[in-house]
Amino acid sequence: MAASVRRVGTIRVASGPVLGLCTSGRSGPGFFTTATRSGALPRFRSLMTPSPNRQAPHGLLIANLLGQLAFGLLAMTICLPSMQEWAALLGSTQAAVQLTFSGYVVAYGLLQLVYGPWSDRLGRKKVLLFGLSVAVAGSVLAALSTDMPTLIAARVLQGAGCAAGMVVGRAMVQDLFQGPERTRVMAYVGMAMGLCPPLATILGGQLHVRLGWQANFVFIAALGVVLFVAAWRGLPDHQPSTTVQPHWLRAMVSSYAQLGREPAFILYVSILAMTTATFYAFLGGAPIVLGSYGVGPDGIGFYIMLVPGSYIVGNYLTTHLVHRVGDRRMMWLGQWFTLGGIGLMLALALAGLNTPLAFALPLMLLGIGNGFLVPPALAGTVGLMPALAGSAAAVAGLMQQLVGAVGGFAVGLFTHENAVNLGWLMTGLALLGVVAQWLLKRVDPKPAGPVRAAR
């Protein structure tokens, strides 16, 4: 009997007594469709429903997700070189200028709480497209701003829209990947996020000098349009879980209540939050400490970038190690690298070795440790309750921003003639993360070896 072929969306499904036939549509990645000898075929419920026998999504899909995830951080930091001139150009104060950044961060964090449940209920792509539309509108408004209040409002709108990419991107990684492969993709996410701040500030500075500060927002608006098309054409649709409640407010409250009752989720988020707070404390204190060592504004960036650069290295190593080591062991390895880097920096400062390199070089271990720690922690956060992956990503993103901001604020409570006080602060924050991971082992024990995808 000859086999017949019928189309389902962009996937061609073979029917008949065919064994091991691989079919695919022209516009998407192929999947293996294997029939039994009796002609039975697996059911394709949804492109977004994880299947242990399905191939990993195509590399272009991963690149698409990385772009959506990094967009918010790029929009946040690209205008930093312009901020020192906005007060004079727009006839305002430096305090008002700072509101353009803090307003973005607050909107970026808070709206994640809304987009998460929406993406679980309405589908990932719809929420992402809505957020990108809002971000583009905010960017256009910012480019057209002629006064500070309008620019502040535009930045808040921009942050509110960009929040969707962070939440939906993390949730879609959960939808599409399993086990160590999910952690591997999260490591790629970490590498992209680590590259964003330095590249964005360099690009933003060049655009500001050559075309004016408005060019930064024109660039972000254009990039938002490109990402909108990429999401519309290149991301699979997501069928909401049947367990998600139909009313959006009730669903949101129910989602966060379910997550709040899960101790492992709270501890995963705590680990991420304390790791972020430690890093934000470094970012807030490094310019002060380096300034006390005689480093000028033109040299501070070089020393600071040693840590994000090593973070990228840590994420890269995670993509190769996680399959052999396992998620939990990678997290512990990250904790020890983080504490080791901070401890070495603090020991050198206590010994009186107060030089820029004695401060920055040991903290490269912190960057590598964060690269080991963050990807598996993120994978665990969104993987505990797959039906609520969007809500879980939202809570994680918000707490990282809020607790990280507290870590950065705490730097200002101490004097920093050298790195000692900053070292003690970072040690305390990092130890809180270690405590959270120790508690995680008690409430949610897992094998220490590699985490294998379900078969």
How high is the mean pLDDT in each 10-residue block of the chain (455 residues)?
40 36 38 38 37 51 85 85 79 76 81 80 84 95 92 94 88 77 76 77 81 93 94 77 58 79 92 90 78 73 81 87 87 96 96 92 95 90 80 81 76 81 95 95 64 33
3-state SS class at 378 = helix
Last residue of a domain, one of 213, 240, 267: 240
Question: In this structure, is residue 51 part of a structural domain?
Answer: no
Is 104 part of a structural domain of the chain? yes
In a domain, 325, yes or no: yes
403 and 355, same structural domain? yes
Q: Are residues 444 and 389 in the same domain?
A: yes
**What was the pLDDT predicted at 366?**
96
Residue at 116 is within a domain: yes
Would you say 124 and 389 are in contact if contact means Cβ atoms under 8 Å apart? no
Q: Domain ends where: 215, 240, 265?
A: 240
From CA 165, how far away is CA 227, in angstroms rounded?
Answer: 10
Residue with tokens 């009313």: 247
Which residue bears the tokens 């057209």?
Answer: 144
* Same domain, yes or no: 84 and 224: yes
Q: Are residues 175 and 113 in the same domain?
A: yes
DSSP 8-state symbol, 13:
E
143 and 220 together in one domain: yes
Domain presence at residue 245:
no
The answer to whether residue 42 sits within a structural domain is no
Give residue for tokens 């305390």: 428
Do residues 164 and 272 share a domain?
no
Q: Which region holds residue 279: left if phi is over 0, alpha if psi is between -120 and 50, else beta?
A: alpha
74 and 18 inside one domain? no
Of 240, 275, 296, which residue is a domain's last? 240
The domain in which residue 117 lies consists of: 56-240
What was the pLDDT predicted at 28?
41
User: Per the structure, how many domains does the chain have?
Assistant: 3
**CATH number of the domain enclosing 178:** 1.20.1250.20
My answer on whether 207 and 101 are in the same domain is yes
pTM for the whole thing?
0.62
> Integer distance in angstroms from the first to the last C-alpha of the chain?
31
Q: Residue 246: inside a domain, yes or no?
A: no
Kindly state the tokens that stand for 258: 């379910």
Distance CA 94, CA 183 (A): 41
Q: How many residues would you count in the chain?
A: 455
Asked if 69 and 96 sit in the same domain, the reply is yes
Output b/e per residue, 220-243; b: 16+ Cβ within 10 A. bbebbeebbebbeebbbebebeee
Q: Assess if residue 92 is contained within a domain.
A: yes
Closest by CA position to 386, among listed 296, 262, 288: 262
Whether residue 219 is found in the same domain as residue 111: yes
CA distance 393 to 112: 8
Q: Are residues 231 and 260 in the same domain?
A: no
Tell me, yes or no, whether 16 and 116 share the same domain: no
